[in-house]
Amino acid sequence: MASLLLHNIFDGDGMISQFILDGRSVRFRNRYVRTRHFKHGQQSSTIRFRGVGDQIPGGFRANVGRLPENVANTNIVNCAGELLALWEIGSPHRIDPETLDTLGSTDFGGRLGYLGAFSAHPKWDPDTGDMYNFGLDLLPTPRIRTFRIDRHGRLTGLASVRCSICRGTTTSR
């Protein structure tokens, strides 16, 4: 098994740890989130994807226009009965809560938009159980989009705020 030498903590692969307390014993399990970045690192010691701090070989020209790879390493949340591994600039990865197997990424049926950016720090409405979050879209127009996910997992776009440098305005959806 190969491993990549990364120089930035934000570029490390996400790992989920689980403690099961049943009143008689404590069991522990952990597993890496099986992202594209993780799978590549299992097969090669070369950097194929750009990170937040680590760049692919080739300098500026090789890295310009490439977004950092989603490593699902920032937060784990329970959303509408699903366990999601989150990262700041990409789609959530669905995780099986029993086995911690990675079930794949989700863009909530295409509703996250072009890049699928979904912040790793959502908030919940204590009365409705709805989850609120935002995502940063860089393309085609830089903007912040806000979302509501109801307790059934349906995502609704709430508002989009364009980058002020781009002569943006606020629009509702």
Q: Is the peptide bond before 140 cis (omega within 30 degrees of 0)?
A: yes
Query: In this predicted structure, which of 80-89, 96-105, 164-173 has the lowest mean pLDDT?
Result: 164-173
Residues 93-117: what's their mean pLDDT? 89
pTM for the full predicted model: 0.83
3-state percent breakdown (helix, strand, coil) of the chain, nearest 5: 10, 35, 55
What CA–CA distance (Å, rounded) separates 124 from 150?
Answer: 10
| 46-99 residue pLDDT tens | 777 877 777 878 888 888 888 888 899 999 999 988 999 999 888 999 999 999
